A and B are shown apart, each in its own frame.
Chain A
Amino acid sequence: QKEVEQNSGPLSVPEGAIASLNCTYSDRVSQSFFWYRQYSGKSPELIMSIYSNGDKEDGRFTAQLNKASQYVSLLIRDSQPSDSATYLCAVNYGGGANSKLTFGKGITLSVRP
């Protein structure tokens, strides 16, 4: 069973702080990793994708991938109240048309004004 674990949370940070969200996955051969944001009652919305080891930055968001440790994280700098949502880590398992995106249970982030 391919797993995506998001065991920390819920997370509460003050406005302007850095929020750090972590995720581990079980299949060492996975090649693509995604962070989605989901507001209550809404659909998942893509924030970041990352495919190679290291950091990838997009505005206030930085995704970090360590394939040796099977670990992917998301940092949100200068957190805003509008960042309050559930953040879903997703890992692509399998190959070609048979690959499928598997989601973690999510981490709920609350940014206090």
Chain B
Amino acid sequence: EPEVTQTPSHQVTQMGQEVILRCVPISNHLYFYWYRQILGQKVEFLVSFYNNEISEKSEIFDDQFSVERPDGSNFTLKIRSTKLEDSAMYFCASSDARGPAVSPLHFGNGTRLTVT
């Protein structure tokens, strides 16, 4: 069964450093998302991406965050200057051409980001 893949599985970085989290969505999917989950808390929406542009973003997704689909397969989340409170599990997800109102999101295994 096709799956969303994320790399790395664990990233440790120092405060103030830039990190890039990488995702390869399911190949025929058209909608892409980043969510995060701080330890012990709920899964929170960050951003959605469709047709090569951001379609929706949350209050969390400030100027320190950016997303990119540099080629036909990868989808990346960049955090420009990491803060301690950015420590969380980051999940990439994708859904198919029917759109998120109908098509379930398929999640990758996540990248655990630890900012020290």
Contact = CB atoms under 8 A, between A and B. Distances in A.
Contact of B56 (A31, A38, A46, A98): A98
Given A97-B48, A97-B50, A100-B48, A105 B42 contact: yes
B90 to A, nearest CB: 10
Contacts of B33: 100-101
B43 interface: yes
Contacts of A34: 104-105
Contacts of B44: 103
A102 interface: yes
A95 B102 CA distance: 10
Contacts of B100: 92, 97, 99-101
A82 B109 CA distance: 19
A101 B42 contact: no
B91 A43 contact: yes
B108 A101 contact: no
A110 B47 CA distance: 32
A103 B42 contact: yes
Interface string B45-60: 1001011000110000
| Residue from the set B45, B50, B104 with the largest chain A CB neighbour count within 10 Å | B104
Interface in B37-90: 41-45, 48, 50-51, 55-56
A103 B109 contact: no
A101 B42 CA distance: 12
A45 interface: yes
Contacts of A43: 91, 107-110
Interface of B: 31, 33, 41-45, 48, 50-51, 55-56, 91, 99-102, 104-110
Interface of A: 31-32, 34, 38, 42-46, 49, 51, 88, 92, 94-106
7 contacts: A42-B110, A46-B105, A92-B100, A94-B56, A97-B31, A97-B51, A99-B100
Nearest 10 A-B pairs (CB), nearest first? A97-B55, A97-B50, A43-B107, A103-B43, A105-B42, A99-B100, A46-B104, A98-B56, A99-B101, A100-B45
